[in-house]
Amino acid sequence: MLFLLIFAVLVVLYYLYIKPFWYWESRNVPYQNPVPLFGNMFKPIFKKEQLISIVQNIYTKCPDSPYFGFINFITPILIIKDPELIKKITVKDFDVFSRHRAFASEDMDPLWSKNLFAIQDFHKWRHLRATLSPAFTASKLRMMFDLMQECAKNFVNYYLQKTEDVIELDVKDACRRFATDVIATTAFGVTCDSLKNQDNKFYLMGKDVTNFEGIRALKIFVYNSCPKLIELLRLSIFGPQVTNFFTKVVSDTVRLREEQNIIRPDMIHLLMEARKGKLKKDKSNDLEVDSFAAVNESEIVQKEVGGSTQITDEEMTAQALIFFFGGFDTSSSLMSFTFAELAVNPDIQKKLYDEINEVSERTGGKITYDDIHRMKYLDMVTSESLRKWTQGVFLDREAVKPYTIPRDNGQPPLKIEKGDLVWIPAYSIHRDPKYFPEPEKFDPERFSYERKNEIKPFTYLPFGAGPRNCIGSRFALLESKIAIFNIILNFEVVPTGKVTIPLKLDSHKISPTT
């Protein structure tokens, strides 16, 4: 009996932790030798090296291959390099790769699983995306512009009131506080003033939601190494504190507005309209000049969708949460990386200041949505910042049915089975000298009118690609540009002695952080 038990354990260990490491070898796909149990995640999980760097090293070691293999703990992942193959997977064959990998089922974590990013069912996703997409059109963003600009004015005035000639600050923390104020007012109708009220609930909740250290890191480790255990233990991404906070904020705000017939130009109002099925897409595009980095809705979403487009209160709260999640961390990271690059590239900062100052003088300081969007150099700077320091470092897709990738040299096609995962390494592609010469150089001129057409399609992916791209790209860009405009107009950004030049990623963080 003991022998049978030992044999059974060895068989289980073999299939779970040994066999996966032969996966890419048997398929003749380039890969890097993994570590048992951890796969290629050993160094990142113990904070020895950024995951981005691990992938980057494998990427550069197979320059002629359109893809390479990766082992995420015990899960094999195909990482796609070739732009044409990326186009096929994200656009042409979207019906095969129509969703992201699920972390939790609806009954385990409804607030996470029902947001637009995580939702699995294609028809539910399409209905929800079509319902929400009108909230991010130019006319709706115009409604929110004054709210964002007010936050920026308060942000700048806080520092202008200081008596010091030189103000030293943690730019990441400062940008997070600005992002908190913007998200709180434009999404929830709440004024925070996070610089004066340092420990307001929205800021603390933002730090909690975006913190993937400690217990949340352990949950991710368990999920990746033994996903069935997550289901057995019924673990959720966010604890009850986060769930209860956002549920209460949304429900209280909705109830107050319905009782008092309050209409405010923010995301809660738009979600309330969507819940009633009254949010309609603009018939005309009133955006004359768009950002290079912004992504458009696909034809799949733009087509008329039959059936009801109403969303439930729980779905509305789920969207508010993911909107807060994205706005708090990714937008603040875009701002902080941009300020960091401007600090170490004073010539670029001077050129940007000249454009900003000209617009400010021409408008008497009363800038509008259109003024921001017509600023070409500001857009070039933010586009380059997103190129060099993209926050969506990997785009993930899960196959919902079998798929084959043809191969040259008489090799049999590479087969992808239902449930297999693919990653698209946006960070590495953005730093590939084949697509972006001198990739480590911060060069906004890449996105000038004369040169931006040189950028190969599907090699610039700051907000994803295909129908499941980021719905809030224009919101994030507008928020960031308003912050950059007001800061550079009033201050010169310079590096302190604590800044490492050239800028480097912190190996102790999961997401890109200087």
- The continuous run of DSSP H or E covering 145 comes out as helix 138-160
Burial label for 380, CB within 10 Å (0-12, 13-18, 19+), is buried
Q: For 35, list phi and psi in degrees, rounded to 5.
A: -110, 135
Taking each helix axis from N to C end, the angle separating 122-132 and 267-275, rounded to the nearest 10 degrees, works out to 120
Strands 75-80 and 421-424: parallel
What is the CB neighbour count within 10 angstroms for residue 471? 24
Burial annotation 150-184 (CB, 10 A radius, 16+ → b, else e): ebbebbbebeeeeeeeeeeeebbbbbbbbbbbbbb
Which residue in the block uniquely carries the two structure tokens 């963080």?
Answer: 509
- Token pair recorded at residue 499: 């800044």
- Calculate the CA 4 to chain-centre distance: 49
226 is in an annotated binding site: no
CB 135 within 8 A of CB 319: no
Which residue in the block uniquely carries the two structure tokens 């919902």?
Answer: 400
Residue 167 DSSP code: -
Can you give 409-452 as a three-state secondary structure string?
CCCCCEEECCCCEEEECHHHHHCCCCCCCCCCCCCHHHHCCCCH
CB 102 within 8 A of CB 113: yes
Could you list the residues known to form a binding site for heme, using ranges.
470
Could you list the residues known to form a binding site, using ranges.
470
